[in-house]
Amino acid sequence: MRRITLIALSLLVTGGCGVATYAKQYAKQNATDDLRDRALRIAHRFYSGRDRPAQDMGHLVDEVEGVEVMSVTGTTTAQGDGVGVVIRLSGTASEGAIEPRTVPVARCFELRFSTFGDWDAEPRDAVCPTGPPLTFAPWPKTPRMPYERLREALPRVPAHGRADERKVRAAVASLHLDPAIRIEIKTEGGVVGVSFSVKPYLDQALDCILARVAPGATDVWSPSRIQRMPGEGGCDVGNAIHPMPPPH
């Protein structure tokens, strides 16, 4: 209502030419406000208490459709003032009252990410850096867990037999796993437990599979995400021998 009133006053005081100028400014300001709101939503999306390197924050933001990352400053989100990411967003505004036309509007904003920052901190207006947007190398790949291959390779033990750790180790060796995958094998009470685990680059939860080779049953499974979080022990070989109950 306030903006409509201002347009009406402008019409009375300055006439049609003034109205056209004001309408143009009003349209561009609206477009800028929309871009600023979008920048705030992006900041909310990546707000976190996790310590991340500056380049990772820039890379994450760069993956948002329609966002151009122009510069990245800082070291990590847990040091100094955190990480600053200047982004360029583009939109449109309408110019002209009689024959309106759509014109492009581009604005730059600085997003600030830190482990001690405020979730609702407003993006800062920024001068768009010269030059092209930044580019980022592909993320490090996480080795795929050989779920089906492990299931097929592991020995089956008769109900009245006893699991043989040597045979289990030979089965695991035949898979020729990626060196990044951590392997644990342990025997306890006639049962052999197997754990494969790896830490994905961007995820806190481990990626892992467990196997339990016991008389009458050979099982392969992946623990729940809750159990795969740091400190939960879901990927330990002990969980393969004595499986945890499912989380409630």
Segment 208-226, tens digit of pLDDT: 999 999 999 999 999 999 9
Which of 120, 114, 118 is CA-nearest to residue 74? 114
Pairing, β 182-188 against β 124-126 = unpaired
Instruction: Of 96-110, 180-194, 205-219, give the lowest mean pLDDT range.
Output: 96-110
The pTM (predicted TM-score) of the whole model is 0.75
Strand order in 68-73's β-sheet?
68-73, 83-95, 101-113, 124-126
pLDDT digits (tens, 9 = 90+) for 11-64: 444 444 444 454 455 555 677 878 899 999 999 999 988 899 999 999 999 999
